[in-house]
Structure formats: C-alpha cells, structure tokens
Chains A and B, each alone.
Chain A
C-alpha cells in the first residue's frame, strides 16, 4: 500500500508531486515527504510488521518507495543491546545501545538512507547515482550501487586518507578527488548535482534519502516491546537523524502502534564542529556555520542543512545538546568497547561522551530509559585510537616468559 502524498516545503507548506527535487521553488525551504496516514487505519498493525522479515523494510509503508525495495533489501534491523555494564559505570537504570555499527552491508546507518535513496532512484529511472562524502556515505553508495547494478560516482576531497578511499574504491565506483578549500569542493558538488542527470543521494533525492533514517527509530520502538524510550541521544552531523527519529516516534503514536511516552531528543556533537549544539546552548535557532576541526570526521558538517530543524526538535521535546572534546571522544570509544564489546567509530564516542556529560549534569535522568544511537563501526576510524589502546607485550616463545607475565597479572597455573 502506497500512502505517500507529496513533497511538502517545511517552511511555506507548498506541496509538489513526487519527483527528484529537494528545495521549494518559492522560498528555498527543504522539501519533506508527507503521507496520508489514515490510509493505514486497521491495516498497519504490530502483527503485520512482526510477520515480515527482520529488515528495515518491514515498515515499508512508512518509507517513500512504491512496492518492494530494489536496493538494499537485506539492510537494517540491527541489534538493540541492553547495556547493563555501562549502566553500572554511568549510574543509570535503563540504558540501551542501538548498534548500527553492524548495519548491513557497510557497517554504518548510511546503509538505511542509501537503500531508500537508491530504490527511489531506480523508480525514477536513474541509471547513475552519486554522492559527496569523506567516509561512510561514500562506501554505502558505492556498495549498494554495485549490488543493484547501478553506475556510481563518489566525490571526495583530493587529500582524503587512503583507507577511506579504499572503503569506496573496492566496489568499483568512479572516485573523483577534488582539490581546493572545503567550501569550493562543496559548491562544485552541488553544481555537479544540478548539472548532470544523476541521482545525487543527498541533493536531488535528499527528501527520500533522509526518510530512511526513520527505520532506526521504528526498530528501537519495536525492539523495546512496542514502546518509545524516554530519552534518545543521537549524533548530529546535518541534524537529519535527530529530526527523523523524532518523526518516526510521532508516526508510530499517530498510527496507534505505541503510546506517547513524551520522548525527549538529545543531540551530540564534537566540540570542534558543534554549530547545532552551540545554537541550543545559546538559546537561538540560527545556526552559525563553523570550520570543522575534529577527529569525528563523520560528523564534520560545519554548515548543517537540518541544523535549524534539529534545534527545534530538541527544544520542543524538552531535550538538550552537548559537545565533547576529541580526548573525551576517544575515552568514550574505549569505555563502550570495554564495557559492552562494541567498537564504535568516533561518532559513537561523541554520542556516549555527550550522554555521560548529560547524565552528570542532570539533563538526562538516571532512572528513565535512555537509548544511545551508535551509527558507525570503529574499524573505519582506527587512526583515532591507535595511540590510546594497550600495545601487545612482546615475549620470546618461552613458557617461562609467559609464566612471569601471568604471575604479574595475578594468575596462577591451573595444573
């Protein structure tokens, strides 16, 4: 059942037919997909959803595609982990990790948004898809495009680390490195998106792309036993994820799938790129663009397109925003790994680091349910922690040498 009604301007409310476009011709406001939810009355039930395969597409009526997905049909439905060890460390009673560091196929939540964007691109008849990215998005577009038999272009700054280039190059995409200052590279990508007849996932098909983030929220609510958490902490780059998880909760309430739990949204940024957090702390809704300087590269968006809307969601829901230093990011990455066995990328360190500060400051209550959204895998940002983890202790191939080590660690031989 297709319940998509139109694209609607978030600013002036002007509606447009479903097409590959992203800004309002009248006021430049961003367009968002809107739905006729009443068409799902009596049809879209918990039982129907539970009867479907465990992928993000079990909620397909609330994602903006026609019929079945053509790209990324296996994506999503990542674990929601009850973080009992971390609860003890942080002194809270009910903490969960939504672990998108194991999202299929490229180990980040971008697989959700990209599979929606590319499925929609196929519907529109595009043969070539593209993105501009410094990491997760590049890999996800390249991989999902390869699996779907689509041509792809990935635009990157020319001096991007080799490891990150590799993460997209392996999938046979066409990678273009662009020289110049960040703003110039950004502007060129925008111009390319406007000039060539491609589906640029976060430009001309952005309204559809962004909707994919809602699937993370739907999964959390189902995995918690069909209820919303009281508090959700999300990393913020463009700010889109924060707004879309909030939208997912509102939709489930409207459809009668859960009760309104008064969920508050909290945003997390690195101090070296925290324009949205700063706006929340300053009590303004205007976002001052910044030049990013942080190890949390996947959050390094200095002029965030959805910053204003993320700010509004945080304020309307009674949440807050926080930021953490690069040192705090590394400490939090280690804490998550050592307590829960989850190796998150730097953005995960930002999320947990900010949650810790929010708990300590009393902004996050200790006795109510909290979900932390971990959005990417630490294997992709190893450079950030390479000097912060224990080095192996080197010994000769001698049992005597190991015995000495074991004794120093307080272990005795069993026999």
Chain B
C-alpha cells in the first residue's frame, strides 16, 4: 500500500533524522513531497510505500517516537 501522511515534529523531534531511521527499520520506500522545518516545529508531507502490515508498523513506530502522524486531509471529523 501507499500511505500519504503529514508528519508533525515538535521541538523534541524536529532535529532527529527520523525519516532516515524509518527506512532503516522498515522495508518501506519513503518519498518527501513537501516539508517546512523551523527551530521548534517541522511539517513533512510523506508517502510511505510497502506491504500493508509493514506500512502500518512503520506508522506506529513514528507515532511512538513522538511524531504526530495524520492523514493528508488532517482532521476530517467535523462538528
């Protein structure tokens, strides 16, 4: 599957090479489509391509590192 997500990095994660680590830890292809990185925050639009279970595990791993993983639509649940 190919998953398209926005990753939000906070002050504690923005300097970490987490996308590089992700590709080392899991058999996925990552493709950065957009990115904005500042001192205290980073926002990255990322494609993650691989087997369904591996992509899911990779996504969970990112969340475990403190990265917010959201669909590219961001919040779709409205009031």
Interface residues, chain A, CB within 8 Å of chain B? 11, 22-23, 26-29, 110, 131-137, 155, 157, 182-183, 185-187, 189-191, 193, 200, 202-203, 206, 237-238, 284, 286, 288-289, 297-305, 347
6 shortest A-B CB distances, which residue pairs? Answer: A298-B79, A190-B71, A28-B45, A305-B74, A132-B77, A137-B78
What is the predominant secondary structure among interface residues of chain B facing chain A? strand
Chain B residue at minimal CB-CB distance from A133: B78
- Contact indicator A288/B79 (Cβ below 8 Å): no
Q: Give B contacts to A, CB under 8 Å.
A: 4, 6, 8, 10, 33-34, 36, 38, 41, 43, 45, 68-79
Residue numbers in B under 8 Å from A301 (CB-CB): 75, 77-79
- Neighbouring A residues of B45 by C-beta, 8 Å: 27-28
Determine whether the beta carbon of A304 is less than 8 Å from that of B34. no
List of A residues within 8 angstroms of B68 by Cβ: 183, 289, 303
Which of B34, B77, B78, B79 has the most A CB atoms < 10 Å from its CB?
A: B79
Q: Across the interface, which residues of B come within 8 angstroms of A23, CB to CB? A: 4, 72-73
Cβ contact within 8 Å between B41 and A189 = no
B10 to chain A, nearest CB (A): 8
Residues of B within 8 A of A137 (CB): 78-79
Name the residue on A nearest B42 (C-beta).
A286
Contact A131 B78 (CB under 8 A): yes
Query: Contact at A134–B74, with CB atoms within 8 Å?
Result: no
In the bound complex, residues from chain B placing their C-beta under 8 Å from that of A286 are: 36, 38, 41, 43
Q: CB distance B79 to A297 under 8 Å?
A: yes
Contact partners of A305 in chain B: CB under 8 A:
73-75
Given contacts A27-B45, A136-B78, A289-B70, could you give 14 more A-B pairs where the C-beta distance is less than 8 Å?
Answer: A22-B73, A27-B34, A28-B72, A133-B78, A186-B75, A186-B76, A187-B71, A189-B76, A238-B75, A288-B10, A297-B79, A298-B78, A303-B70, A303-B74
Residues of A within 8 A of B76 (CB): 132, 186, 189-190, 193, 200, 202-203
Alpha-carbon distance between A238 and B78 when the two chains are bound, in angstroms: 8
Given A22-B73, A203-B73, A305-B74, decide whether A29 and B79 contact each other with a Cβ distance below 8 A: no
